[in-house]
Amino acid sequence: MRKKIVAGNWKMNTTLQEGVNLAKTVRRLHNNVQDKEVGVILAAPFTHLSELCNALAGSTILVAAQNCASETKGAFTGEVSVDMIKSVGCKAVIIGHSERRAYYHETNALLKKKAELLLKANLTPIFCCGETLAERESGKLFDVIKSQISEAIFEFNHDDFQKIIIAYEPVWAIGTGVTATAAQAQEMHAYIRQLIAEKYGRPVAEEITILYGGSCKGSNAKELFSNPDVDGGLIGGAALDAEDFIKIITSF
C-alpha cells in the first residue's frame, strides 16, 4: 500500500526564528492528530535545516531541503551538496520544482544527476513535474510530463525508482489561486502512474507516491485527496499557516 504524504514547501519564506517557531507549532498540533499514517515533510530554506532537524527530533515529521547541487564538492560557490544536506539530518530533497526550471533553467539532464546523487546518499528525491498554461492549452500537457519524467528518472533500476516521490504541479495553478479540478488532477496522476506501469510494471506503479502541488489548501484538500491516484500534496502557501497545514494533513 503506497504512502500518503503531505509535504510543505516553504520556498523563500520565514526567517530562522520564524521557521523554527512554525515547525514547533506544526509539531505541537500534529501531536493531537489521531491518524499518524500520513507522512509529513517540511521543506525549508538551507539556513533553517539544522535547527529544524533539532526542533523536530523525536517526532515523525521529516525535514527536506528545497534543492541540492548537481556536484559532490568543489569550486561551486553558493551551492549546497547532497552530503552537506544529509549531514544536518535531512531525509529528502525537492528537485525539479517549476520555479527552479523556469528561473534557473534546470534541465531534465541536470535533474537526473541530482536524483542520482540523492539516491546514492539514501535521501529521498521529491521529483517535480508539470506543464505551463500554454503547454496545456496547446494540447502538449501529456508530452511535457512524459519527457520530464522519462528523461530524468526513468533510467534508474526498479529498486532505486521506488524510492522516489513524484509531485505533479500544474504550473498554471501555482500561486495563482487557480486550482486544477479534482478531475484534472486525477487525470494527470493516473497518466503518470500509467507511464510508470509501462516502464516498470503495474506493481511498481501502484507503490509510487504521487503528490499534487498546485494551490492545495485546507478548503480543497479533501476533494483532491479523494482521487484514487492522488496520494497527498506538495503544499506551498498553506504550509506557512500551521493550522491550515494540519487541516490538509487530516483531509484524507
Cα 183 → chain centroid: 21
Does residue 97 carry a catalytic annotation? yes
Which phi and psi angles does 133 have, rounded to 5°?
Answer: -65, -40
Catalytic member of 99, 106, 135, 169: 169
Distant-in-sequence, close-in-space partners of 177: CB < 8 Å, separation ≥ 6:
215
Distance, CA of 32 to CA of 155 (rounded, Å): 41
Distance, CA of 82 to CA of 95 (rounded, Å): 12
Do 154 and 123 touch, CB atoms closer than 8 A? no
Catalytic member of 30, 48, 97, 189: 97
The 3-state DSSP composition of the chain as helix, strand, coil percent (nearest 5) reads 45, 15, 40
Question: What CA–CA distances, in Å, run from 49 to 59, 65, 134?
Answer: 15, 7, 36
Distance, CA of 87 to CA of 121 (rounded, Å): 10
Distance, CA of 187 to CA of 184 (rounded, Å): 5
Does residue 48 carry a catalytic annotation? no
Catalytic residues: 97, 169
